[in-house]
């Protein structure tokens, strides 16, 4: 699997949008390229490797491990948080000073709108059931109606026997 495909899988989990929806924004390659341009290919690979360790077996503690081992990591956490913000807002935000002091300043580490279409394709708009102001006009008089917020999907039920699932996956 390519690093781009792994990036999409990671992004799908952390944004709660499907791979299909993320690819449908037309921003996936730009967002991947921006992440690599700022963080570096080796750091992005380390982030995706850390995520792949969590992927094989879903279980009740998975979200806790994702928070602790990726979002709570001193090096990977700021990048992971920026990926979430980038998908929702269309902007890459400069990494914090503490990160650049610890891991080195990066030439492309500036706050920037990733592409000309990033604002209108941000996940913020479908997440709140609205349209981006000044773009994608929904039609005359649509301002009269409140936004249609999609229902929150039910939580995924915990797996009764994670060890059995792990054995089944490793056997295949």
Lowest mean pLDDT among 60-69, 91-100, 104-113: 60-69
Rg, Å, the chain Cα set = 18
pLDDT at 54: 84
17 to each of 7, 20, 110, 118, 165, how far by Cα in Å? 13, 8, 26, 16, 25
Residue 64 pLDDT level (bands cut at 50, 70, 90): confident
Residue 94 pLDDT level (bands cut at 50, 70, 90): very high
* Cβ–Cβ < 8 Å for 95, 109: yes
157 to each of 33, 95, 165, how far by Cα in Å? 35, 35, 14
Residue 167 has pLDDT above 90, yes or no: no
Instruction: List residues bridging with 113 in a β-sheet.
Output: 91
Among candidate residues 86, 97, 71, 101, the one with its CA nearest the CA of residue 37: 86
The model's pTM is 0.80
> Using CA atoms, how far apart are residues 64 and 50, in angstroms rounded to an integer?
14
Among candidate residues 49, 69, 43, the one with its CA nearest the CA of residue 1: 49
The DSSP symbol for 127 reads H
Q: What is the pLDDT of residues 110-157, one digit of tens each?
A: 999 999 999 999 999 999 888 888 887 777 777 787 777 777 777 766
Question: Domain limits of the chain?
Answer: 3-171
pLDDT at 63: 82
pLDDT at 166: 60
> Using CA atoms, how far apart are residues 151 and 154, in angstroms rounded to an integer?
9
């Amino acid at each position: 699997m390519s690093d781009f495909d792994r990036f999409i899988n990671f992004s799908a989990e952390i944004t709660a949008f499907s791979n299909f929806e993320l690819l449908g924004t037309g921003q996936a390659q730009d967002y991947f390229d921006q992440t690599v341009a700022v963080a570096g290919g080796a750091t992005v690979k380390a982030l995706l490797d850390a995520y792949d360790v969590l992927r094989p077996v879903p279980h009740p503690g998975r979200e806790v491990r994702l928070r602790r081992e990726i979002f709570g990591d001193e090096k990977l956490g700021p990048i992971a948080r920026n990926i979430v913000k980038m998908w929702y807002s269309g902007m890459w935000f400069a990494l914090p000073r503490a990160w650049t002091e610890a891991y080195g300043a990066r030439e492309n580490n500036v706050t920037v709108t990733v592409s000309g279409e990033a604002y209108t394709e941000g996940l913020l708009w479908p997440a709140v059931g609205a349209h981006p102001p000044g773009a994608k006009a929904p039609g005359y008089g649509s301002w009269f109606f409140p936004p249609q917020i999609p229902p929150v999907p039910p939580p995924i039920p915990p797996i009764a026997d994670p060890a059995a699932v792990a054995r089944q996956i490793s056997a295949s």
